[in-house]
Amino acid sequence: MVCLMSAVVDSAYLRTLQDSGVCTSGIDVTQAPYAADPTGTSDSSSAFNAAIIAAGAAGQTVCLPPGTYTAMADINVNVNGVTISAPSGATIMYGNPSGLQFFIRPQTVGSMALFLTVKAAIVQSSNNKAVGIAQNQCSGNSITGNTASSNGEEGITADNQSNGGQIAGNILTGNAISGGVGNIGIDFASGLSVSGNVIQNSMDGVPGLKTQNNLGPTFGLSISGNTFTDNAGAAIWLFCNSGKCTVGSTVSGNTFSGNATPSDKSALARAVQTFWDDAKQLANAGYAMVAPLTEVNPWQQFSAFPEMNPFRLYSTNVFSWRNLFNKVDFGEGD
């Protein structure tokens, strides 16, 4: 995959937009020469693409006034540091079920220099094999305050060394209609904070959040303060995929209700990959153990994937072996 984003992006560069929805700075995508249609009647794909290129060259912001924008072709962000903002929210609707995406890709192959914040967008792609808000090989992003609903695949993803940053305060509902691994999917990423999200009604039998790890192991997640409700699979699944596991992560202070694999303590324990003494930690906390719980040496993950070696990624931090273990405290549940 590439860095996909079906959303409005607002990086920390811009703080001058007013809550009125009026674009007070940067490029108003509805104005000439771009002329995106906020009524959704006509295709705004080319308007977005032209405005994004212009904004990247000038270090400006693409601003979306309130409205519904239809995309009938791919929207491509292939410049670093671009800012896209919806001061009062906007809706991007895919007008074609063929898998259109909002692509955010590194300017150079292998680059991880995109620092983006997705904010205040409503993203829908019902009947479209599309991800709502997705990152691939682009780090340091902040995805906050969005609604990702009814997407064909995940609502939000972070894949392929999309390291650092946060997924916070979003509403994810009814995603993974026809594919994907959960409302939130993470694969081969490090140091992400997932906090304060409402994660509900995932479809197609998948969890609220899953680390799929097709590409490689995932390290150092913080999953806290989220509400998992009525997901079609387990609430949280830190998956170990053919030896590519999730290590050094913390699950704490989340709330669970009505998840289909159900959200009782035993199911939650089963749904979380544990390592070494973490199984004992869960048992001591009163969580029933449901076999099989696989415990692996986390260091083995980094021998096969040296680019994810925490001592390399976080060379400025003081590291200890304890940081390689998962720490699980599920919080409130049924």
Residues 269-309: pLDDT tens digits?
444 444 334 444 444 444 444 433 444 455 555 566 665 55
3-state secondary structure of 297: coil
Task: Give 17-69 pLDDT, tens digit per residue.
Answer: 333 456 777 899 999 999 999 888 898 889 988 998 898 777 778 888 888 88
Q: What is the DSSP letter of 237?
A: E
Task: Give 138-180 pLDDT, tens digit per residue.
Answer: 777 777 777 777 777 888 888 888 888 889 888 898 888 878 8
Top pLDDT among 293 and 72 is at 72
**What is the mean predicted confidence (pLDDT) over 310-330?**
46
Pairwise CA distance, residues 283 & 289, whole Å: 7
Contact 126, 152 (CB under 8 A): yes
Q: What is the pTM of this model?
A: 0.71
Pairwise CA distance, residues 321 & 308, whole Å: 15
Average pLDDT, the chain: 67
Pairwise CA distance, residues 279 & 296, whole Å: 11
Instruction: Please measure the distance between the N-terminal and C-terminal CA atoms of the chain and give it in whole angstroms.
Output: 36
**What is the mean predicted confidence (pLDDT) over 209-235?**
86
